[in-house]
Amino acid sequence: MDRIVIIGAGLAGSLLAINLAKRGETVDVYESRGDMRAGNAARGRSINMALSDRGIAALREVGMDEYMLDAAIPMHGRMIHTPGGDTILLPYSGRKGEYINSISRSGLNAALMTEAEKYAGVSIHFNEQLTGCDPESGELDFASGSTLKSELVFAADGAGSAVRQALDANVADFVSRSEFLEHGYKELVIPPGEDGSFLIEKNALHIWPRHKFMMIALPNLDGSFTCTLFLAHDTAEDSDEPSFSKLIDEAKLIAFFEREFADALPLMPTLAEDFFANPTGMLGTVHCSPWHANGRVLLLGDAAHAMVPFYGQGMNCAFEDVRTINALLSERPASVSGWVDWRSIFAAFERERMPNAAAIQSMAIENFYEMRDKVADPVFQRKRALETHLEQTYDDYFSKYSMVTFREDVPYSEAKRRGNLQDELLMRLCSEAAESSEIDAEAAIASVRRL
């Protein structure tokens, strides 16, 4: 039996601790922050998130899917807010029961930690920030001054992973690169109505697409919406392009919202306060390789493959990583003496997950341009209408979005490959027709099947 260390009690780290403890392993989790259950949740850091089928499948394996879905709000489609103040609902799928769920990040993380701590083998050590990791000796250093040695380290310490940085410094063939978008994000809020009601449609993910920037809003159980403004950090002084660096005072901020988000502005009484108090986050993609060192250290979740949030898949993908580890452990069980061949499990994990992580990372960037530019485009709207019709009519049609979001049995890389071929074909048909009703659905599905 190995004594296992997990760095990070975030979403992936806590779920992994539960899975390993269920197998009888002893797990020590080291978390840099204090215990969020005592009210330490960070301000302005994606308060709610979209949970979909891959994540739900991972929660199901530890018996937490129904419990978490009870605390979530279904979102059936994207509600587009046009500059003129009109709204259009674009359903996520033509099938009943295919929707995404708005869930509280801290609520989910806290529930996972509480579940992990039900196992005698799990200890979570808070306020322990890892500062060094030697993959040769297994020595781990913490900012508190404590050190320890471990045979097995799972790095679930997020996008800025200290373990990844240590591998970069200590492992000869390790390569790591982070690519940042020129856009950042800021969290804002639409509070509930006086009676706790939802002031805009509750069961939708709201989008205000404005080509070079956009705002989105996801519902919370208390009737509020968490809005996220995605905007360039900086734009040329002499250009009209807005950016965070130009919104330097309340007057400029309000004028920007009056011009661009006129229907949302009256619903945001604390806009200026939130805007100037909340941090502006960075949006980046992390590429690194290999994900494991010496059969002792494994990177997973954002530590291995952080992505931009535009497909709503970072957490879902991190949860799928944990599912994969679980499946590999079932395929290669421990020997009678309790010995597990972690080296081969780590190698198999990387083989399976790396191409899939790369696929969802690139689709997430593409989706940024889709949400910001294309959802407002009539050809794209015709394509969504056609896809909804195809999904309602033909059991074997799944859009790229549906394959990524609702088909946990289709790997991300396959969803990307098939989805891109379908998208190209359907966009061509829709650009040739003035109305989606003019498109022959039978001919379209026949062409899709030929792909």
**Residue 8 C-alpha from the chain's centroid:** 17
- Closest residue (Cβ) to ligand FAD? 10
411 belongs to the binding site for ligand FAD (CB under 6 A):
no
In this structure, are residues 116 and 261 in contact, taking their beta carbons and an 8 Å threshold? no
Alpha helices in 246-313 (DSSP H): 250-260, 271-277, 302-305
For the bound state, the minimum distance from the C-beta of residue 366 to ligand FAD, rounded and expressed in Å, comes to 16
C-alpha 386/C-alpha 435 separation (Å) is 10
Q: Which stretch binds ligand FAD (CB under 6 A): 28-36, 62-70, 110-118, 287-295?
A: 28-36
20 belongs to the binding site for ligand FAD (CB under 6 A):
no
* Of 316 and 436, CB closest to ligand FAD: 316
314 belongs to the binding site for ligand FAD (CB under 6 A):
yes
152 belongs to the binding site for ligand FAD (CB under 6 A):
no
Q: Which stretch binds ligand FAD (CB under 6 A): 74-82, 237-245, 262-270, 296-304?
A: 296-304
C-alpha 144/C-alpha 166 separation (Å) is 18
Closest CA to 340 of 20, 14, 17: 20
For the bound state, the minimum distance from the C-beta of residue 231 to ligand FAD, rounded and expressed in Å, comes to 13
C-alpha 25/C-alpha 1 separation (Å) is 7
For the bound state, the minimum distance from the C-beta of residue 47 to ligand FAD, rounded and expressed in Å, comes to 9
Tell which positions 167-196 bind ligand FAD, by CB under 6 A. 185
219 belongs to the binding site for ligand FAD (CB under 6 A):
no
* Of 219 and 312, CB closest to ligand FAD: 312
30 belongs to the binding site for ligand FAD (CB under 6 A):
yes
214 belongs to the binding site for ligand FAD (CB under 6 A):
no
C-alpha 44/C-alpha 226 separation (Å) is 10
Per-residue buried b or exposed e for 332-364, using 16+ beta carbons within 10 Å of the residue's own CB: eeeeeeeebebeebbbbbbeebbebbbbbbebb
Side-chain-side CA neighbours of residue 35 (13 Å): 12
392 belongs to the binding site for ligand FAD (CB under 6 A):
no
C-alpha 194/C-alpha 1 separation (Å) is 56
Site for ligand FAD, rule CB under 6 A: 7-13, 30-33, 46, 49-50, 129-130, 156-158, 162, 185, 228, 281, 301-303, 309, 312-316, 318
